[in-house]
């Protein structure tokens, strides 16, 4: 039986996407009808897990009309929503694809502040979960009102209750989870560079930096996303490089979250580190084959996983 999974998204969004031909300034652009999809790191991981046949609970802040839309969209995708009500309206993001050049424009809106009382209620809700999740994915950006100290306290709670913490975040939140230590950390090259103060990292430097994080007890496993070059997975005893398969890229939205979903699906089923790395790269690559914010299909992910297993 697979381990129970919780995803946490403190700054979720409804992604509104459309396509148009030949974007030009000061010109009325005739867009296609918009498509609305759930968004935010942990929410996307839960959406990906559904595609892979795994259940999870998705905890997220929800406020106003957009929050209700987000809840309804998740139910339609057969995700188990666990909304934490807040007064502020849930944010929207806007994605436009220019079909004349297949170029994607992504407009990310800021989230409104979470009050101290709301933040405490979220913490208490997580603390009171019964049964408590065996795996917790903490992913995405932080809204105003929630800082690194809150994240560090949350990670400490999760670990004390025996949950394996998987973190995919950046900035202050990334520094906070490293301060407490997690089971699995998934930075990209840019985020890893921020941790070391290096603007640019090559593959060899990324490998060495990931090893340092493991040796320092910041994470038991570090997976560095290399984009079109695949990923490095580093643990105390192993260093695995998985090359990315060559696919026709239509969108990069949700590729990192899809990668996390793939790895968590194998972790939940007791698979090996090599299998985790391969499924992560397979799902991340499959996500780039979808338009808009559609994430990956199970068929594409499984096909790419089989290819990676033979490579």
pLDDT in the model for residue 293: 64
194-214 average pLDDT score: 79
Identify the domain containing residue 95 by its residue range: 5-310
- Residue 237 appears among annotated catalytic residues: no
Q: Of 15, 112, 168, 257, which residue is the catalytic one?
A: 257
List, for residues 10-48, the tens digit of each pLDDT value: 999 999 989 999 999 998 999 999 999 999 999 999 999
List, for residues 159-189, the tens digit of each pLDDT value: 999 999 999 998 889 989 999 999 999 998 8
The domain that holds 260 is classified in CATH as 3.40.1190.20
Q: Which helix (H) or strand (E) holds 206?
A: helix 203-215
Sign (positive or negative) of CA dihedral 231, 13, 19, 45: positive
Instruction: Output the 3-class SS for 78-143.
Output: CCEEEEEECCCCCEEEEEEEECCCCEEEEECCCCCCCCHHHHHHHHHHHHCCCCCCCEEEEECCCC
List, for residues 40-91, the tens digit of each pLDDT value: 999 999 999 999 999 999 999 999 999 999 999 999 999 999 999 999 999 9
Domain count, the chain: 1
């Amino acid at each position: 039986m697979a381990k129970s999974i919780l995803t946490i998204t403190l700054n979720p969004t409804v992604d509104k996407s459309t396509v148009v031909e030949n974007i030009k300034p000061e010109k009325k652009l005739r867009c296609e009808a918009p498509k609305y999809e759930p968004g935010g790191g942990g929410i996307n991981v839960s959406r990906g897990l559904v595609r892979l046949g795994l259940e999870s609970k998705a905890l997220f802040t929800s406020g106003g009309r957009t929050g209700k839309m987000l809840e309804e969209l998740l139910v339609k995708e057969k995700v188990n929503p666990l909304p934490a009500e807040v007064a502020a309206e849930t944010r929207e993001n806007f994605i436009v694809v220019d079909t004349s050049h297949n170029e994607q424009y992504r407009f990310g809106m800021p989230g409104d502040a979470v009050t101290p009382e709301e933040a405490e209620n979220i913490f208490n809700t997580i603390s009171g979960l019964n049964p408590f999740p065996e795996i917790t994915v903490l992913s995405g950006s932080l809204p105003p009102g929630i800082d690194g100290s809150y994240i560090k306290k949350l990670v400490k709670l999760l670990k004390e209750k025996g949950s394996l913490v998987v973190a995919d975040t950046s900035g202050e939140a990334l520094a906070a989870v490293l301060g407490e230590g997690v089971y699995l950390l998934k930075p990209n090259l840019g985020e890893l560079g921020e941790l070391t103060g290096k603007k640019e990292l090559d593959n060899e430097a990324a490998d060495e930096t990931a090893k340092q994080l493991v040796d320092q007890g910041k994470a038991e496993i570090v997976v560095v996303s290399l984009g079109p070059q695949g990923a490095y997975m580093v643990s105390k005893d192993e260093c695995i490089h998985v090359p990315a398969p060559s696919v026709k890229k239509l969108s990069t939205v949700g590729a990192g979250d899809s990668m996390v979903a793939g790895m968590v699906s194998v972790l939940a089923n007791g698979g090996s580190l090599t299998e985790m790395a391969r499924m992560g790269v397979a799902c991340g690559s499959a996500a780039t084959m979808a338009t808009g914010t559609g994430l990956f299909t199970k068929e594409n992910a499984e096909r790419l996983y089989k290819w990676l297993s033979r490579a």
